[in-house]
């Protein structure tokens, strides 16, 4: 899939505070990138874009909210645009299709299921945060147009490793090419 193709939305429940905002202003925020018309993004459910020639971003619409994050999962680079959206402990998450890592849509936190006492029967588990692992970007809507402002925090976030030229040239090009069907 190219960085500008669109995929369809999956379903789930509950919602977290949106990292998006609406504006009646006629101009987009400074340093923002036009993603598309809101109606087109709502219809598609998910859109991926390469911004600044160096950052692949997933913009998705779910339960009335727009979210944006790095497109590749922080764990192993899985394509998040194919992940399901599910609720875990009151947090909407995208589930990486490769290894089922759970990432909150609003904060980019990695969630895991912890066990209090591994010797106790039955096991009692609960969801815990690993901290922010996925870079989240700000979404703004201006007069029906959707813009993303890249998160320019200098703090390293694990998903950053998949936003490098080295990853694009070495790892992506080394993947096996699909064989043509006869």
- What is the mean predicted confidence (pLDDT) over 39-68? 96
Q: What are phi and psi of 82, to 5 degrees?
A: -100, 0
CB 136 within 8 A of CB 91: no
Q: Which residues contact 93 (CB under 8 A, 6 or more apart)?
A: 85, 86, 87, 102, 103, 104, 105, 111
- What is the mean predicted confidence (pLDDT) over 93-98? 98
Predicted confidence at residue 181, as pLDDT, reads 65
Q: Which residues contact 30 (CB under 8 A, 6 or more apart)?
A: none
Percent of the chain with pLDDT over 70: 79
- What is the mean predicted confidence (pLDDT) over 6-12? 34
- What is the mean predicted confidence (pLDDT) over 99-128? 95
pTM exceeding the 0.75 threshold for the entire prediction:
yes
- What is the mean predicted confidence (pLDDT) over 60-70? 97
CA distances from 55 to 111, 126, 165 (A): 24, 34, 10
């Amino acid at each position: 899939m190219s960085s500008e193709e669109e995929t369809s939305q999956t379903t789930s429940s509950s919602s977290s505070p949106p990292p998006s905002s609406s504006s009646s202003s006629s101009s987009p925020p400074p340093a923002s990138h036009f993603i598309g018309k809101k109606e087109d993004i709502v219809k598609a459910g998910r859109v991926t874009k390469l911004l600044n020639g160096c950052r692949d971003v997933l913009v998705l619409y779910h339960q009335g909210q727009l979210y944006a994050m790095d497109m590749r999962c922080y764990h192993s680079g899985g394509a998040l645009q194919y992940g399901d959206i599910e609720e875990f402990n009151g947090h909407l998450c995208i589930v990486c299709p490769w290894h089922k890592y759970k990432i909150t849509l609003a904060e980019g936190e990695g969630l895991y299921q912890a066990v209090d006492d591994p010797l106790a029967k039955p096991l009692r588990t609960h969801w815990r945060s690993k901290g922010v692992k996925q870079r989240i970007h700000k979404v703004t809507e201006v007069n029906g147009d959707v813009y993303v402002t890249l998160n320019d925090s200098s703090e390293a976030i694990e998903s950053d490793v998949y936003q490098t030229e080295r990853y694009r040239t070495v790892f992506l090009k080394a993947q096996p090419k699909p064989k043509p069907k006869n």
